Amino acid sequence: AQSVAQPEDQVNVAEGNPLTVKCTYSVSGNPYLFWYVQYPNRGLQFLLKYITGDNLVKGSYGFEAEFNKSQTSFHLKKPSALVSDSALHFCAVRDRGGSYIPTFGRGTSLIVHP
Amino acid sequence: DAGVIQSPRHEVTEMGQEVTLRCKPISGHNSLFWYRQTMMRGLELLIYFNNNVPIDDSGMPEDRFSAKMPNASFSTLKIQPSEPRDSAVYFCASSAGESYNEQFFGPGTRLTVL
């Protein structure tokens, strides 16, 4: 079985400050991990993914995420937040040896204040 | 590429009516997913197709819901009869090949059942 937890419903940060959106996962084997962003009235858009190799993954819009196997985490980060980053962010996991169906977290609403 | 195409973008109907939602996945993608998103329950997987074959429909709420994929470029989700609790945003997503590939989401269909 696979699962994802996003412990924060909402994250508030001031523009220009660093941001972190948390994600922890559980899989039987090794994971493929994904972050998606959803802007109002839009579908989810892919941001970045971890497959293998370097634990620090860089993606779209200046976002990055760090895979930590010992803590089973894949937190999304950005060094300097923009107001335009305000959106709903989803973490997702697939077990490499398991189903093609990903499991999504409930989403974290990121609000960046001017 | 135009991305995943969904129609209609908005649908308002009365309880008891039949509703058909349509999806055209990205050309070459062999996996297709239907999701439903509500404030209360978040993002829910309804059904997953691989190479036009339904693989997992355990998320389909009840017999009122049915989905088909007659060919690689078209899928439908039908609700008959519709009920007010079916009101939600329905997303179609497609992905290619391996399970480490990300999903591409359509813009969604906002369904309101009166």
Q: What pLDDT does B56 receive?
A: 94
Question: pLDDT tens, A4-57?
Answer: 999 999 999 999 999 999 999 999 989 999 999 999 999 999 999 999 989 999
- Classify strands B74-79 and A31-38 as parallel, antiparallel or unpaired: unpaired
Report yes or no: B65 at the A interface, CB cutoff 8 Å: no
CA distance B30 to B94: 7
Among B89, B74, B69, smallest CA distance to B26 is for B74
Kindly determine whether residue B107 and residue A42, on different chains, have CB atoms separated by under 8 Å.
yes
User: In angstroms, rounded to a whole number, what is the distance separating the alpha carbons of residues A10 and A108?
Assistant: 5
Asked if residues A103 and A1 have their Cβ atoms less than 8 Å apart, the reply is no
pLDDT level of residue B1 (50, 70, 90 thresholds): low
Distance from CA of A14 to the nearest CA of B (A): 26
Peptide bond into B54 cis (omega under 30): no
Q: Is B54 on the interface with A (CB under 8 A)?
A: no
Q: Between A49, A94, A101, which is nearest B56 by CB?
A: A101
Q: Per-residue pLDDT for A103 more than 70?
A: yes
Calpha distance B109→B77 (Å, rounded):
11
What whole-number distance in Å separates Cα of residue B12 and Cα of residue A45? Answer: 26
- Tell me how far apart the alpha carbons of residues B91 and A41 are, in angstroms, rounded to a whole number: 11
Give the DSSP per-residue string, B98-111.
STTSPPEE---EEE
**HSE of A98, CA atoms in CB hemisphere, 13 A:** 16
**Average predicted confidence (pLDDT) for chain A:** 95
Residues of A in contact with B105 (CB under 8 A): 36, 43-45
Going by their DSSP bridges, the two strands B19-24 and B5-7 should be labelled as antiparallel
Q: What is the pLDDT of residues B46-85, one digit of tens each?
A: 999 999 999 999 999 889 999 999 999 999 999 999 999 9
The predicted model gives B16-38 an average pLDDT of 97
Asked if B108 lies within 8 A of A107 by C-beta distance, the reply is no
User: With b meaning 16 or more CB within 10 Å and e meaning fewer, what string describes B78-113?
Assistant: ebeebeeebbbbbbbbbbeeebbbbbbbbbbbbbeb
Angstroms from B102 CA to nearest CA on chain A: 7
> pLDDT tens, B87-103?
999 999 999 978 889 99
